[in-house]
Structure 1
Amino acid sequence: MIQRIQSIWLFLAFLVLALMTFLPLATKEIDGSESVVYMFGLKTQFQSESGSEYKLALSLPLIVTYIAIAIICFVNIFNFRKRNLQKRLAIISIVLIGGFAFWCSTYINELPGGIEGATFGIGAYLPAIAILFIVLAIFGINKDERLIRSAERLR
């Protein structure tokens, strides 16, 4: 049974990362066409003679990296008996999420006309929230380690 607080924090980090799939990172409108950057790529809506059309440019390396980070966070939930491994994977997750956020920001810079005039969506702030949840999980892991050490001293 999962009963440790760090499991809850890691699950919340996983949920926040899962939300990144559906929420836009940035939006920019130029000459009647709207470009929206999602975690999986760039979606551009433009008006043509036949109506509104969409163009989607996927970024496969970005998608693969995102899925790997989400899987690491999810698998780390079930390592509550191996606290040292859980802490190492949490630190690795923080580094990977930071790198992923930087990579997303460079991808946002590829919007037509640059980043000026772009509005950032809530998806741009979700990596920071996921890192916060993982840091709270590390605090929970450290608290468990102190509790076990004090219990062993009493024996």
Structure 2
Amino acid sequence: MIQRIQSIWLFLATLTLALMLVLPIATKQAGGSESTIFTYGIYHKITTNDVSQLAVTPLIPLAVTNIAVAVMCFVNIFNFKRRSLQKKIIVFTIAAIAGFAFWCSINAQKMPGGLDGASFGVGAYLPALAILFCVLAIFGINKDERLIRSAERLR
């Protein structure tokens, strides 16, 4: 059934990873410039003599990875009939999210001056939240398996 609790947890993980696309990971202000990193690029806003210039360094592979991991979580919702496969895919997804978060931190260090003095945005904490939702989905799958085993004993 699609109403299982692991479907809700996987949907929340998908939503969390989708929010990574629009929320900033880190912001740094130094002198007359401000740098903000998103999963799709680093924005450098330089203000001199009341004139603002915006330079963008695209991070297309990072954005594609973000979308791929979110789609993997969403598609896994529909594996509810094959719980063991669903659990294996969730474990792989957790590893992919951890790798994605590590890759985000490496790209965040590409901001001018590195991460010294940078303020982390909400996007920096969302991968950990997505991993939490995936772990909760695994707990839901285990609970379903125990319920099915106990129902089979009653037959």
Instruction: Normalising by structure 1, report the TM-score.
Output: 0.96
Per-residue deviation at 1:78? Answer: 1.1
> What's the CA shift string for 1:100-145, capped at 9, x where partnerless?
0001001111111111101100100000000000000000000001
Q: Which amino acid aligns with 1:139?
A: F
- What's the counterpart of residue 131 of structure 2? 131
Question: Counterparts of 1:63 and 1:38 in 2: how far apart (Å)?
Answer: 9
Worse overlay, 59-68 or 89-98: 59-68
> What are the equivalent positions in structure 2 for 1:1-155 lying under 5 Å apart?
2-48=2-48, 51-155=51-155
Q: CA RMSD in A?
A: 1.2
Per-residue deviation at 1:49? Answer: 5.5
Question: Counterparts of 2:80 and 2:53 in 1: how far apart (Å)?
Answer: 48
Question: Counterparts of 1:94 and 1:100 in 2: how far apart (Å)?
Answer: 10
Unaligned runs of 5+ residues in structure 2 are none
Question: Counterparts of 1:49 and 1:119 in 2: how far apart (Å)?
Answer: 25
Unaligned runs of 5+ residues in structure 1 are none
Q: Which amino acid aligns with 1:122?
A: V
Name the count of aligned residue pairs: 155
- Percent identity, please: 61
SS of equivalent to 1:2: coil
Q: Which amino acid aligns with 1:79?
A: N
Contact kept? 2:83, 2:141, Cα under 8 Å: yes
Contact kept? 2:25, 2:37, Cα under 8 Å: yes
Runs of 4+ residues deviating >3 angstroms: none
Contact kept? 2:43, 2:57, Cα under 8 Å: yes
> What's the CA shift string for 1:4-62, capped at 9, x where partnerless?
00000000000111111111000011221100010111011112457222111111211
